[in-house]
Amino acid sequence: MKIRRRYTCPLEIVHDFLRGKWKTIILYQLKHGPKSLTELEKCIVGINQKMLIQDLADLIEFQVVNKIKYEGYPLKVEYSLTAERGQKIIEAINILQSIGKEYMNENGMKI
Amino acid sequence: MKIRRRYTCPLEIVHDFLRGKWKTIILYQLKHGPKSLTELEKCIVGINQKMLIQDLADLIEFQVVNKIKYEGYPLKVEYSLTAERGQKIIEAINILQSIGKEYMNENGMKI
DNA sequence: CGGTATCCTTCGCGATACTG
DNA sequence: CAGTATCGCGAAGGATACCG
């Protein structure tokens, strides 16, 4: 992660990090266990491979995601949440998700 | 808040809403009680009035912020978190803030 | 299948000027 | 002091082609 400016509050670091279009969604999709690149690509509607790989790299660097390479052929790589920071950030994302649910109910929105 | 696209998950609504540069910071600054426009402008480094007012309008529409107008002169307006959704969203923001603190400690960063 | 590189477009946001 | 309107730039991100 590149530092973009001088932060005046620890919150700004994390918010700047999560601000992009896809990172929270990627994390959310890893909530129920490891997934491969192509699995992620399939379940995240609208994302393209470039963004997915780019954001996964960021998530790994920030230590919210692990990358596991399995040796041998065919190539197999899996991504999963880290036990520490990954799980913690998911707590926050869960809250946001539940706010979204409420909001949709109140406004008669459907997926 | 204008709907930007078709959402495939309730999380996306809230994330899209919070993605902008300032909303989370504004909410965080309201955590300890109501503030006026100029107070917010002073304590949020780098923001300009246009963005502040624009984001406050969004936050009000999404029912995380209340606007209280006091009658009489001089004009007085205060913004505060709503009891329901405002408090709930702050829970998530608190988690992000604490992740930021950890991250800064680990990497020897200072404000 | 997993990953990198390049080009091009969109739009978030900053600057600035104006109104009640 | 509170709020609205306009304009332009730069970065985020989409499309696409290529490599191991």
Number of domains forming the structure of chain A = 1
Find the CB nearest A93 among B11, B45, B102: B11
Tell me, yes or no, whether B22 lies in a domain.
Answer: yes
Task: Determine the Cα–Cα distance for residues A99 and B12; give it in Å rounded to an integer.
Answer: 11
B37 nearest nucleotide via C1' and CA = D2
Tell me, yes or no, whether A111 lies in a domain.
Answer: no
Tell me, yes or no, whether B4 lies in a domain.
Answer: no
Tell me, yes or no, whether A5 lies in a domain.
Answer: no
Does strand D come within 7 Å of the CB of B38? yes
pLDDT tens digit sequence for B56-78: 999 999 999 999 888 776 778 89
Tell me, yes or no, whether A3 lies in a domain.
Answer: no
Say if residues A81 and A66 touch (Cβ distance below 8 Å): yes
Query: What are the DSSP E strand ranges found in A1-111?
Result: 65-70, 76-81
> Protein B95 CA to nucleic acid C16 C1', in Å?
37
Which has more pLDDT, A6 or A14?
Answer: A14
Write the burial class of residue B4 (CB in 10 Å: 0-12 exposed, 13-18 middle, 19+ buried): exposed
pLDDT tens digit sequence for B41-54: 999 999 999 999 99
Tell me, yes or no, whether A4 lies in a domain.
Answer: no
pLDDT tens digit sequence for A36-60: 999 999 999 999 999 999 999 999 9
Size of interface A-B (CB pairs under 8 A): 116
Structure token pair of residue A51: 């963004």
Domain that holds residue A73: 10-106
> Protein B98 CA to nucleic acid D1 C1', in Å?
35
CATH of the domain at B101: 1.10.10.10
> Is A7 close to B62, i.e. CB distance below 8 A?
no
Tell me, yes or no, whether A14 lies in a domain.
Answer: yes
Structure token pair of residue B25: 């910071």
Find the CB nearest B11 among A11, A89, A100: A100
